[in-house]
Amino acid sequence: MKLHNFNSGPSILPQPVLQQAAEAIINYNNTGLSLLEIGHRTNWFQEILQEAIASVKQLMQLDDSYEVLFLHGGATTQFMQVPMNLLDSNATAAYCDNGIWGNKAWKEAKHFGNVAVVADSSDKQYRYINKDFSIPDGASYLHITSNNTVEGTQWNQYPTIDIPLIADMSSDIFSRPTNFNQFDLIYAGAQKNMGAAGVNLVVVRKNILGKIARPIPTIMNYQKHIDAGSLMNTPPVFAVYVSMLTLRWIIENGGLAEMGKNSLQKSTLLYNTIDALPIFNAPVVKEDRSEMNAVFFLNDPALEEPFLDLCKQEGMIGVKGYRTVGGVRVSMYNALPLESVQIFCDLMHSFAQKHG
Ligand SMILES: *Cc1c(COP(=O)(O)O)cnc(C)c1O
């Protein structure tokens, strides 16, 4: 049976990326060595890392004020690393709390300084993006989550502010054209739209660094990583390689314009199907619906299990909602073909016919 991979993360990767990654484990580029057994300071790995960095700069159209880093750990590490580098202990950082990941982010920041949660949509179970906020005077930065993976909401227009803007873009990075130069720091765990688990992309505008009094442990210090060219210690070589291949695949397949076109097409098809079938409902405020993760429910909760069972039987992988949210969640990252969404929508139609 053909499987359709709607996993929320780690998630679907392009087939040619998996193919090349698999070959590289046995024999990297006909060197006779596995990628896993070559040094990270070899020219071989240097080329991989440099291509990955150049691809990020190209896709994001970054100017020279930015540095691109590939660092260990997931996005969760950045919840701590961002304030450790940018928030003085007597200063205040502003956070938008529009989902469980943003909520976790500000709680980590509190270990380092003061936090002002300036917008919070937990009053409505995070089913919208609260964009109505004001930032306290002198705040060090504003942190947002560009796409709320769990709740299925996404920022469509980013806030315009006069302090550094920081975004966790883990689940919608490289999914559509974006003016990345409006951000001062962007981070993303690779395993949703960019590669394999184990590496973080961090893009930082250099001039926001070096402004705080706190001594920063070397491995957590962005400036030290910049100075070392992402090679302070052994980077996650294989994960960086998979990211490089995925970035190459994005560029070869039309870049962000094409990714954006596909994301819009897939998500429009799915939301139109949900809206057309009265047995389903998507509670997220329409203007904030995510193109990456669609969350919806069956109006009759008793039908949820039979629907999820049917999905399983038909090879639809990873569509059960997040454990605290329930319902159904369909993730539509770059590598997911339109065909998978079409087949999923056909399944919704036939289920609705039988149970409507
Ligand atoms: C998955 C996710 C995280 C957590 O990523 P880890 O790599 O598991 O630490 C953080 N933020 C967002 C938006 C996510 O989707």
Same domain, 276 and 232: no
10: CA distance to ligand 1 center in Å?
10
249 is an active site residue: no
- Could you tell me the strand order of the sheet in which 92-97 lies? 66-72, 199-205, 185-189, 165-168, 142-145, 92-97, 114-120
Q: Are the CB atoms for 59 and 247 separated by under 8 Å?
A: yes
124 annotated active-site: no
- Residue pair 83/214 in contact by the 8 Å Cβ criterion: no
pLDDT tens-place string over residues 111-145: 999 999 999 999 999 999 999 999 999 999 999 99
122 and 60, same structural domain?
yes
How many Å lie between the centroid of ligand 1 and the Cα of residue 198? Answer: 11
Query: Which residue owns the Cα nearest ligand 1 atom 3?
Result: 75
Within a domain: 266? yes
Q: What is the pLDDT of residues 151-164, one digit of tens each?
A: 999 999 999 999 99
Ligand 1 atom nearest to 101, measured from its CA? 11
Q: What is the pLDDT of residue 47?
A: 97
pLDDT per residue as tens digits for the range 174-225: 999 999 999 999 999 999 999 999 999 999 999 999 999 999 999 999 999 9
Note the pLDDT tens digit of each residue in 223-276: 999 999 999 999 999 999 999 999 999 999 999 999 999 999 999 999 999 999
Is any atom of ligand 1 closer than 6 Å to the C-beta of 101? yes
How large is the average pLDDT for residues 64-79? 96
Query: 198 CB less than 6 Å from ligand 1?
Result: no
Inform me whether the pLDDT recorded for 356 exceeds 80. Answer: no
For residues 139 and 268, state if they share a domain: no
Residue 102: predicted pLDDT: 98
The pLDDT of residue 301 = 95
Mean pLDDT of the chain: 97
What percentage of the chain reaches a pLDDT higher than 70?
100
Q: Is 74 in the pocket of ligand 1 (CB under 6 A)?
A: yes
Which DSSP state fits 160? P
Classify strands 147-148 and 114-120 as parallel, antiparallel or unpaired. Answer: unpaired
Cα(305)–Cα(297) distance, rounded to whole angstroms? Answer: 11
The answer to whether 168 is a known catalytic residue is yes
In this structure, what CATH number is given to the domain that contains residue 68? 3.40.640.10
| Structural domains in the chain (count) | 2
Confidence band of 73 (pLDDT split at 50, 70, 90): confident
- Active-site residue, selected from the candidate residues 97, 106, 192, 288: 192
Share above pLDDT 90 across residues of the chain, in percent, rounded to a whole number: 99
Greatest alpha-carbon span in the chain: 65
The residue type at 29: N
The domain boundary, picked from 235, 252, 269, lies at 252
- Look-up: residue for tokens 């629907």? 307
Is 76 a pocket residue for ligand 1 (Cβ < 6 Å)? yes
The mean per-residue pLDDT over the stretch 300-322 comes to: 97
What is the pTM for the complete model shown? 0.98
Q: How far apart are the first and last CA of the chain?
A: 27
Residue 28 and residue 152 in one domain: yes
Pocket test for ligand 1, best of 11, 70, 81, 101 (most atoms within 8 A of CB): 101
User: Element (H or E) spanning 295, and its range?
Assistant: strand 293-298
Same domain membership, residue 198 and residue 94: yes
Give the residue, by CA position, lying nearest to ligand 1 atom 7: 74
